[in-house]
Amino acid sequence: MTTHVAPNDLSHVIEADRAHQWHHLMNHKPFESVDPRIIVEGKGLRVWDAKGKEHLDAVSGGLWTVNVGYGRERIANAVRDQLMQMCFFSNSLGTIPGATFSEMLIDKMPGMSRVYYASSGSEANEKAFKMVRQIAHKVHGGRKTKILYRERDYHGSTLATMSAGGQWERKAQYGPFAPDFVEVPHCLEYRAQWDCENYGERAADAIEEVILREGPDTVGALCLEPVTAGGGVITPPEGYWQRVQEICRKYDVLLHIDEVVCGLGRTGTWFGYQQYGIEPDFVTMAKGVASGYAAISCMVTTEKVFEMFKSEPGAPLDYFRDISTFGGCTAGPAAAIENMKIIEEENLLENTNAMHERLMGNLATLMEKHRVIGDIRGKGLFCGAELVADRITKEPAAEAKVQAVVGDCMAQGVIIGATNRSLPGFNNTLCFSPALIASADDIDEITDAVDGALTRVFGQH
């Protein structure tokens, strides 16, 4: 039975949502007394809910995803046209958009050469983990199976990617986890773990200490976000990434960069790792690859890694024996092609860098006015403001108050984010990631809303 819902009456949709949808990262108890919010339309940076209220989306769909903004007809048309010509075939065979986008993508990633398609960031990271494990058996006699990950980083929601997750509230109650995933310390200088000069190098040296403790002949890879996202929008200190690269090469540890959030322009370069001049062995990406217009993720690697999987052409177990069903869907690469063209044609990398300056400048002004802001940090249109109860002790602001700021902004018609179910006691960072098309007026509207919210929630300081 098909139910027609008039545009001005979405009561049935709201009740269907309440009765049947299981939302992400959401406690559903409140929906027994309040309506779930339904988003019905988007254009540019603006979205409208079922009640007709307009919001400025400062979180790109809630998850750092809609990089080029809503309502891009050329992407929708490209996807429709491609689906009518050839919608899907297992990626054991090739397709035109798959081959075309892989060439375009590699052109933006000097040193990389091969693209493996999947449908989510979690899945892309799993592919890299499996490759590391297979290389351990093929090349290192089964020894180098351990994969290092960093406290506060996030790599996905499957059991394997949670095993490599440094956000303990996301992992609680889901164990036991996969073996041979080992944590290294975070690199947030604002929450310094060492009292020293050259903090970035010291934080990287902590990774070497873990490698030596575990045994270099047991460690196969290191998986890091270029800028930590949900763990607090952490930009690594000066010297960190250069030292990380040296350590990986010293101990023959493959470097896996998780660009699921940072990729496709979010930080002001095509990829976040390109901010730091490093040369990874694996790069994974999802979210902004098609700006949410289709589901797509990519695991990209070097020719050196690729060659390891065809050393014995006749051997039945030599190649990468993996498949992703929807890695064969052509909608993803078709959307990704147009998405990349839009970023280039509209100079959105340049705009992202310009709007970064505006956003960080505005946040600095708010920091002068509101003592509850302890630190501001970020790259491109990927910024955060950590809220504290006391600037001297750096005691984190109460999570309920941080969420109250988010709620106040929502009431004003501006959607911002905050670290959520990340680390006990440290879900205290406001998150800002508007689409790369944001204007100076958009940035000002976002920070004006935060200004009012901080005053109402914490009082005037």
**pLDDT tens digits along 326-339:** 999 999 999 999 99
Measured CA to CA in angstroms, residue 287 lies from 18, 66, 111, 140 at distances of: 27, 8, 22, 34
d(CA 306, CA 256): 14
Strands (E), 335-416: 373-379, 382-390, 395-396, 414-415
Count Cβ atoms below 10 Å from residue 459 Cβ, excluding itself.
9
What mean pLDDT comes out for the span 276-290? 97
Q: Is 338 left (phi over 0), alpha (psi -120 to 50) or beta?
A: alpha
Q: Which residue has the higher pLDDT, 272 or 461?
A: 272
Measure the CA angle with vertex 344, ends 237 and 97; round to 5°: 105
pLDDT at 122: 97
**pLDDT exceeds 60 at position 233:** yes
The alpha-carbon radius of gyration of the chain (Å, integer) is 22
**pLDDT exceeds 80 at position 317:** yes
**pLDDT exceeds 70 at position 2:** no
Please report which helix (H) or strand (E) contains residue 403, including its range.
helix 399-412
Please report how many Cα atoms fall inside a 13 Å half-sphere around the Cα of residue 73, on the Cβ side.
0
pLDDT at 8: 66
User: Percentage of the chain surpassing pLDDT 90?
Assistant: 90
pTM of the predicted protein model: 0.95
**pLDDT exceeds 70 at position 170:** yes
